[in-house]
Structure 1
Amino acid sequence: MTNITTERRKIPAKKLAYQERFLSLMKEYKKILLIGADNVGSSHFQSVRASLRGEAIILMGKNTIVRKILHQNQKEFPDHAQMIPKLSGNLGFVFTNGDIQAIRRKILDNKVGAPARVGAIAPCDVSISPGATGLGPELTSFMQACFISTMIVRGQIEVKHKVDLIKKGEKVSPSHAALLTKLKMSPFSYNLTVPYIFDNGAFFDADVLDLSEQDLLRSFSEGIRNVACISLATNYPTLASVPHSICNAHNTIFSISVACSHPYHATKKIIRLLDDPEALQEAIAAASAAEAAEAAAVVAVDDGEGGVDDDCCDCPEDDIFGGPLFGSDEDDY
């Protein structure tokens, strides 16, 4: 019986050096930006590196190697394992301990114009404005083949109307690429993208950084509203539902007081008016006259100034609960 022995494959020194470099950066830096490098040239990449020098370090590498490093060192870096499912495509890593928002802005603002290449996916709409093109009359047939209406003015081709040549997401055809090259147009611009961010153990989509304070307040308000609805539906009191429960209870007491003609400080005037029909008619007439006067004043303001002042709203913009529960302290019951 022959013993077959297999010699263990030797790991190249270059991969070992990359592993040591990657692990040392993970130990030194607590924040990592995953970057996409599609359609980015070497000179463009160098300019990005120069802009981040002293603030961050860019490290590229094969996704398979990075996955293996993260798997093998998962006990030492358990939080970094969150990046493994997202490692696909032409990705790189930006290690930093500085302000993530500032680093991301520098990366995204560094754009380079590029011509339209055949087969490329258009990142934006491309159109040709009417006017002189600088092309000679011999290219008239070529323009007509691209379904562009032209005319000859002073020995050169002019485009009559605006032409929407390529839509965002479409592939660039050979004729479109040739036309844009002849017009010396570089309609596309590319930059490094930042799809994901790792920050002190938290891994999230980079679009979270674009949320404003108003967006956060709106989401917080919707969350409070949902909690209050569920609490009221299940009769389970919470801090969000207690004000509504008190309001509903007060409405019930108010209705019972009016129905039973048993007044308290909030229903004294209403019950007095219900018991005196003449006084009720006078109150209704006075209220109608007041509404008519207010409507006339609003129309006058609209005609004179072109709109109603926003300051007339009693509810402050930053009050996410819709104002006071029972009115202001000056309300007369």
Structure 2
Amino acid sequence: MGFKGTKAEKKVIYDKKICDLLEDYTQVLVCLADNVGSNQLQSIRQGLRPDSVVLMGKNTMMKRSIRMYAEKSGNTAYLNIIQLLVGNVGLIFTKGDLKEVREEVAKYKVGAPARVGLVAPVDVVVPPGNTGLDPSQTSFFQVLNIPTKINKGTVEIITPVELIKKGDKVGSSEAALLAKLGIRPFSYGLIVQSVYDNGSVFNPAVLDLTEEDLIEKIAVGISNVAALSLALSYPTLVAAPHAFINGYKNVLAIAIATDYSFPQAEKVKEYLEDPSKFAVATVAVTTEAAAAAPAAAAPKEEEKKPEPEEESDDDMGFSLFD
């Protein structure tokens, strides 16, 4: 049984509960809880134990408790959660892996019928086939312009029909037809909207990024910064290697065009003065490769064993008639 007391006493207990959670946990998932029933929420709580705790409540009470904790503890990082408390939301405090917790929450979705006035979260398509309804029910299909025929005493839908589009409100006729067909087109559960992790707030899509994705994005960012730095002639750490190489190319070009030289340019000038050295180097590499290739490619020939001589049909010196 729940605690029975005055509103003031309940607020004190709630404040203590949320303050204890804020003290023990540094990771919080902010979840949308529209159309989630109490039994479904209880299943989610059980599935997330013991590493996670689900907290529901009025947004005003949660905001008030978070502000009180921030004032008492001096930890103002949790104030970032306040701006996320909009609509019918709840908090999941966790010490587990954020991605795994989100995946666990997503498992607890429950099918729901299309109720009148409800905004459709997905497109609803009525599939073709036998409905099992008697011919007296054709009026529903006629109102919704669904092509049907009578087959063996029952109504049969001829072609698939997009009954409700995502974002549209469910009408009384659509709701009645789906109920008669036994179709529960919607499914509801807690939807993770935002993630709080040690003072940082980010979109849950970040949890899907792999190590390869992060490396790729960092590489693209470094490339963009380097290009911008070089275009503006503004020195940065990522542009320094490119600047040094470009500088070396410029000095090398001057050394080649003049009598000026420096150690890093001497070998290049030597090759340019005597191009035959390129050919000598190329021939040497080609010869080495050609010599190594047969040794590596040729399989070891197995020693051929002398084949045993076939037994002769000779009579070994004996006559058939001896």
TM-score if structure 2 supplies the norm length? Answer: 0.74
Task: Show structure 2 runs of 5+ residues with no match.
Answer: 1-5, 276-322
Q: Distance in 1 between matches of 2:155 and 2:112?
A: 25
Give 3-state SS (helix, strand or coil) of 1:71's partner.
helix
Pairs within 5 Å for 1:1-333: 12-75=8-71, 76=73, 77-249=75-247, 251-252=249-250, 265-266=267-268
1:258–1:271 CA contact under 8 A, matched in 2? no
- C-alpha spacing 1:56/1:260, structure 2 compared with 1 (3 Å): same
2:18–2:66 CA contact under 8 A, matched in 1? no
- C-alpha spacing 1:213/1:169, structure 2 compared with 1 (3 Å): farther
- C-alpha spacing 1:260/1:181, structure 2 compared with 1 (3 Å): farther
Q: Residue 122 of structure 1: CA displacement? A: 1.1
Would you say how many aligned residue pairs link Structure 1 and Structure 2?
264
Q: Distance in 1 between matches of 2:81 and 2:70?
A: 11
1:122–1:170 CA contact under 8 A, matched in 2? yes
Equivalent AA in structure 2 for residue 151 of structure 1: K
Q: Distance in 2 between matches of 1:254 and 1:154?
A: 91
Give the number of the structure whose alpha-carbon radius of gyration is greater.
2
Deviations 1:11-33 (A, max 9, x none): 62111111111111211222222
- Comparing 92-101 and 258-267, the one that deviates more: 258-267
2:33–2:189 CA contact under 8 A, matched in 1? yes
Task: Show structure 1 runs of 5+ residues with no match.
Answer: 1-9, 274-333
- Comparing 108-117 and 207-216, the one that deviates more: 207-216
Equivalent AA in structure 2 for residue 135 of structure 1: L
Deviations 1:211-249 (A, max 9, x none): 222321222112101210222123233332133224434
Q: Distance in 1 between matches of 2:38 and 2:270?
A: 82
Q: Distance in 1 between matches of 2:136 and 2:257?
A: 92
Deviations 1:274-310 (A, max 9, x none): xxxxxxxxxxxxxxxxxxxxxxxxxxxxxxxxxxxxx
Identity %: 42
Q: Distance in 2 between matches of 1:189 and 1:52?
A: 20
Q: Distance in 2 between matches of 1:26 and 1:111?
A: 27
- C-alpha spacing 1:187/1:268, structure 2 compared with 1 (3 Å): farther
1:276 is aligned to none
Equivalent AA in structure 1 for residue 92 of structure 2: V
2:297 is aligned to none
- C-alpha spacing 1:147/1:256, structure 2 compared with 1 (3 Å): farther
1:33–1:95 CA contact under 8 A, matched in 2? yes
Q: Distance in 1 between matches of 2:181 and 2:259?
A: 86
RMSD: 2.6
